[in-house]
Structure 1
Amino acid sequence: MKPRIPRIGVRALILHENRLLIVNAWPGGRPVLWCAPGGGVHAGASLPENLAREVHEETGIAITVGAPALVNEFHDPDSGFHQIEIFFRAQLAGPIPAHWTDPEGIVTHRRFVTRDELARLPHKPDSLAPAAWGDAGALSYDPLERILR
């Protein structure tokens, strides 16, 4: 498969009461794979503006975007899909809504998890926990990962 131009994405590392907000990564929750909320960027808006929009669309949550914490890159050699993601630390800027709907229908589940719970769930990127909980060397580059199938 011929490689395509990489897509740029942004994701939020939102810790609340030492729990990380994660969402399902594929429409309908299949396959089961968890990630930080976020998505693709639109031209003409800053990365933080794109991230606040994406998180609100996917979760109904308003956030304040902080500093970058991780640059991650992944690809699917079968389809040629390639994405570069910038993860930012973020804080809740309002209440957590009881109900929400992703207008694109991709995110159908969201939850806050402890680090131990995250370790038992299939998630990407592999460096999500160290980045979220600020392990030594928190700002890092996670090299090209293959998408799970």
Structure 2
Amino acid sequence: MEDVKNGILKYLSTFQTGVKVYDERIEQGFHEPCFFVLIIDGAQNREFNRRYMRTDSFDIHYFPDPDNPEKRRECEAVADRLYEEMEYIQWEGSLYRAVGLKHQIVDDVLHFFLDVNVHLMRPKGPETKMRTLKQEAGIRG
């Protein structure tokens, strides 16, 4: 899921000129406007044999320009753009699809939520080789 997070961070760094992007290690005294990306939840379920489905939920915070008197409108505009452009997340040749996109604005901060499902295949373990089998045949009379 680090690849998905890196893809989100890379996209957000090109989203708007002059808007900084922070990951989970947010610094004291960060400068607004900015994005902050947080993995809020993760789960993994076994599907079949060696196949697994891993789901991570992300919360992308957007802190609007503090000098803008219409912070809520700015957050709504950013949310609209994120809906349009965050359906697919690309990182180093892989494409991940985001699902469950939704947003809310709390205290003039946009929270944009998305989930990413990734199919995983565990490597095969060492195979147990068959031991010697002795077989006899005969005719009964």
Normalising by the residue count of structure 2, what TM-score does the alignment of the two structures yield?
Answer: 0.27
- Specify which structure has the higher proportion of strand: 2
- The structure with higher relative contact order (CA 8 Å, sep 6+) is 1
Normalising by the residue count of structure 1, what TM-score does the alignment of the two structures yield?
Answer: 0.26
